[in-house]
Amino acid sequence: MLNYLPNSKHHHTSKQGFTLIEMLVALAIGAGITLLAYQALSGALNIEERVREVTTRNNSINRVWQVIADDVQHAVARPWVDYLGGIQPPMFGVLGDRLAQSSVLSNGSDNHLIRFVRSGEKNFFGQTRSNLQLVAYRITEEETDNNNEDRGKLSLWRDYWRPIDSVEEPNIKSRRLLDGMKTIHFRYLSRNNDRVNDEAWIEGWPESSEQNSELPIAIEVTIDLNDIGEVTRLFALIEGEGSQQ
């Protein structure tokens, strides 16, 4: 019997490559994976940026509370004489959160919401002078741009100057503390009240002419922020008296 083997010259191994459809499917899957990876990375970066913004904002707000606390805790019951010769109370606060012509100063800082005498000013060079200075808080309207439309329209400023008794118009220095505010509200607790309740708080200081040389025992500050809402802090004064200097 004769066995016939296939001629190796005529034997071909069948090799089949990717079809066009398979290549398109593979490309689509790869593109989808790339898109998902990009979206995940973009989302992570957006979250990181948002966390950074919130942290920065909270730090700014906390610094404001620290500044106010330091000022209030150093308040002193010491009347002072302005450059026009008028005797001013150691602390003056306008009613509510309105912008009022509350200061005799003529340099544009006549819209102070609260103004008082404080001690503890640092004297780095050992100069012969009082450690008293006047501090005041005011609000101004912000200059907003298109990237800041969702923020509030008010900024909080701290003014300070010395000497407190001067025949010359004071040289006021200013520092902007906070932006993005809607309102700021001060309330005062008189030491003449027997009970501490909501009715014991008054909207302006001094409450009467008999209290012109006194300080309240506490100040409540409420700031309404556009991105956070209302935040309230309570600041106590030492025995409602301060130290006389």
157-197 residue pLDDT tens: 999 998 888 878 888 999 999 999 999 999 999 877 766 77
pLDDT score at 172: 92
Least confident of 102-106, 119-123, 158-162: 102-106
Parallel, antiparallel, or unpaired: how do β-strands 133-141 and 80-81 relate?
unpaired
Reply yes or no on whether the pLDDT at 198 is more than 50.
Answer: yes
Select the more confidently predicted residue: 7 or 115. Answer: 115
Q: Which range has highest mean pLDDT (54-58, 174-178, 201-205)?
A: 174-178
Determine the Cα–Cα distance for residues 222 and 219; give it in Å rounded to an integer.
10
- Residues 17-35, mean pLDDT to the nearest whole number: 80
Euclidean distance between CA atoms 132 and 115, whole angstroms: 13
- What is the full DSSP assignment across 43-87? HHHHHHHHHHHHHHHHHHHHHHHHHHHHHHHTB----EE-TTS-E
DSSP secondary structure string for all residues of 209-237: GGGTT---SEEEEEEEETTTEEEEEEEE-
Q: Which residues contact 89 (CB under 8 A, 6 or more apart)?
A: 79, 205, 206, 211, 212, 213
Confidence of residue 109 (pLDDT cuts 50, 70, 90): very low
- CA–CA dist 3, 72 (Å, integer): 114
DSSP state of 135: E
Comparison of pLDDT for 128 and 57, the residue scoring more: 57
Q: Is the pLDDT of residue 122 over 70?
A: no
* DSSP line for 14-41: ------HHHHHHHHHHHHHHHHHHHHHH
Highest mean pLDDT among 29-33, 40-44, 68-72: 68-72
CA dihedral 112, 118, 120, 122 (to 10 degrees): 40
Whether the per-residue pLDDT at 236 is higher than 60: the answer is: yes
pLDDT in tens, 139-154: 998 765 555 554 458 9
Contact 85, 77 (CB under 8 A): no
Question: Could you give all domains of the chain from N- to C-terminal order, each with its CATH number?
Answer: 50-240 (3.10.610.10)
**Mean per-residue pLDDT over the chain, rounded:** 78
Structure confidence at residue 128 as a pLDDT band (50, 70, 90): low
| pLDDT beyond 60 at 5 | no
Least confident range from 9-18, 83-92, 157-166, 181-190: namely 9-18
Q: How confident is the model at residue 28 (pLDDT cuts 50, 70, 90)?
A: confident
Q: CA 136, CA 162: separation in Å to the nearest integer?
A: 12
pTM over 0.85: no
pLDDT > 60? residue 7: no
132: helix, strand or coil: coil
Cα–Cα distance, 138 to 156 (Å, whole number)? 6
Q: How far is CA 91 from CA 49, 151, 179, in A?
A: 42, 31, 25
